[in-house]
Amino acid sequence: MNRFTKSFADADAAFSGQYFKELELLKGLSEDEISKISPNTTTMSVYEKLIEIVENASRKNMAQAELVSKIKGLGDTAIKISKKIPGLASLF
């Protein structure tokens, strides 16, 4: 097993898991769209953390309540970004 095997397996699991559609849409947001959500200088950092959370949730088939809790833990900017994705918006 090479050093990339686990990374590829994790990516496959994330994109075949419960939140794969939301993850694709989330990753499809442009930097301009994200900047319009919040002019805060940390917005891109929050966006990247949000992607990690949704990837992890998809890979582990995390319960919606746990996903919502983790997104809320990132703050208002993460919630605003999430609301741009129909499958995540319905959670708030």
Given a cut of 70, is residue 6 above it in pLDDT?
no
Spatial distance between the Cα atoms of 27 and 23, rounded to a whole number of angstroms: 6
Nearest to 45 by CA among 36, 56, 54, 34: 34
| Residue 67 · residue 53 · CB < 8 Å | yes
DSSP reduced 3-state for 20: helix
* Of 91 and 17, more confident: 91
Is the model's pLDDT at 15 over the cut of 50? no
Q: pLDDT tens digit string along 35-82?
A: 898 888 889 999 999 999 999 998 888 899 999 999 999 999 999 999
